Chains A and B, each alone.
Chain A
Amino acid sequence: MFLRYCLLFFAAIALPMAATSDAQTSEGQSMVSTVAQDGHEAEAHAGDHAATESEEAVFNPNEMIMHHIADSHGWHIVDWNDKEIGIPLPVILWTNEGLVVFSSSLFHHDSEGKHVAEAGGQRFVNLHEKIYYASDAPNEHGVYAQADPVTHEVANAKPLDFSITKNVASLFVSVVIILVLFIRAARSYAKNSGAAPRGLAGFVEPLVVFVRDDIAKNNIGPHYKKFVPLLLTIFFFIWVNNLMGLVPFFPGGANVTGNIAVTMVLAFVAFVVTNVNGNRHYWKHILWMPGLPVAVKPLLAVVEIIGIFTKPFSLMIRLFANITAGHIIVLSLVSLVFIFETVWVSPVSVLLTLFISVLELLVAALQAYIFTLLTALYLGAAMQEEHH
């Protein structure tokens, strides 16, 4: 218990620190234009310091927050003496000339399209964490990409991107955590079977029993056993990833369950399992609802068919929006310090951040529970036997 509070407190302190370092990097790239605008301030300070002073003057919280909740090609950890320290991740591209693999360090931490990475005889550029084929020459802002004159979107062609991004790397970390947790728990059961569970098994058992009895058995019905592994996987996957997203320093910090692609895959699994296991009764109620006038039946069939898709869609949106909203709130509270530009706001900011972080701990478990519960409910509805 005490350890948990220590961790929380540490998290509350570390968050503003992480935000400071990142605010500097994201602003550093727009440094050139800022210096030109804030001529007055630049005059007041000598040399290199002028740049850092004026870049803090136009702190843009929107940009910082979006940068934090988005995926990226490198895993940025901390800024130390104006140097970015991070883990370069592999960039895997399927280009016109086949597979190209290189390290994201070739971009030199750049995501503004100003550094060209050459690999496999081709040139690539990282513009807002999307990888494009680089143009031959930079435009007037030094960016190696051309904008479409009509739509103002990037006109450069894109290779297919299969990179191990920050989110994917974080996914690997959480998978390792889950595997270690459960393999060790399973071993401990094999070793002292019959005895009371000890150690990790003792921690995991109540949760597993909760998912099995309260979620699966109560909502799916007599054939629940087949689906317990699926529900357990969904529950622990979402929960661990939610918690990892709340850790502000290195192994955590990625926004995995707040990424709509991740939640889409989870919802797709729920969709497939529900509809594959749907029995005759379920399909009859969707396509030709019994006990209604014939004229209403096709109308209701349309509504029900739309309903098949809106259920997993709402699963996807719910998890994504809840987790992303939590991250945005925490980051907004942290940026209060930089918006008011005084250290006296920081007690308010840290306390509010602490409060929201504790709330997010609850939300992390609650969203995992709701996703699992609704999956079980949909499954139960699809497998219900006839009872008229």
Chain B
Amino acid sequence: MTGSIAALGAGLAVIGVGIGIGLIGGRAMEAIARQPEATGKIQTNMIIAAALIEGAGLFGIVVALLGI
């Protein structure tokens, strides 16, 4: 039982991360379309922000895995 609840928790964490990274990706695309010459800078900052969000999600997943 604890295993399945932990798996639910991991899934919830991933939903949040998915929304977050999706927003970043979408906004980065818009920004690149508006200003193609700044592609490099936008990409770097996009990856940094995505990595930070991903870190939060991974915390959730690891904690959920510990619960299994």
Question: Which of the listed residues B44, B51, B59, B62 has the most CB atoms from chain A within 10 Å of its own CB?
Answer: B51
B47 at the interface (CB under 8 A from A): yes
Chain A residues, Cβ within 8 Å of B56? 314
Q: For the complex formed, measure the closest distance between the CB of A254 and the CB atoms of chain B, giving whole angstroms.
A: 21
B55→A318 contact, CB < 8 A: yes
- Residue A164 interfacial (CB < 8 Å): no
In the assembly, what is the distance between CA of A358 and CA of B44, in Å?
22
Measured in the bound complex, the distance between the Cα atoms of B61 and A322 in whole Å is 11
Size of interface on A: residues with Cβ below 8 Å to B: 13
- Considering only residues 358-379 of chain A, those with a C-beta below 8 Å from chain B are 366, 369-370, 373-374, 377
Contact of B12 with A by CB under 8 A: no
In the complex, A322 Cα to B54 Cα: how many Å?
10
Contact, CB under 8 Å: A374 / B48: yes
Chain B facing A: main interface SS: helix
Docked CA distance A366–B46 (Å): 13
How many Å from the CB of A370 to the closest CB on chain B? 5
Contact of A370 among B40, B51, B61 (CB under 8 A): B51
Q: Which residues of B contact A322 (CB under 8 A)?
A: 58
CB pair A318–B51 under 8 Å, yes or no, is: yes
Confirm or deny: A157 has a beta carbon within 8 angstroms of a beta carbon on chain B.
no
* Beta-carbon contact of B59 and A373 below 8 Å: no
A41 at the B interface (CB under 8 A): no
**Residues of chain B in range 21-68 having any CB-CB distance to chain A below 8 Å:** 40, 44, 47-48, 51-52, 54-56, 58-59, 61-62
How far is the CB of A319 from the nearest CB of chain B, in Å? 10
Whether a CB of chain B sits under 8 angstroms from the CB of A118 is: no
A window 313-329: CB within 8 A of B = 314, 317-318, 321-322
Q: Which residues of A contact B47 (CB under 8 A)?
A: 366, 369-370, 373
Of A317, A366, A373, A374, which one neighbours B62 at CB under 8 angstroms? A317
Confirm or deny: A53 has a beta carbon within 8 angstroms of a beta carbon on chain B. Answer: no
Binding site for B on A (CB under 8 A): 214, 218, 314, 317-318, 321-322, 366, 369-370, 373-374, 377
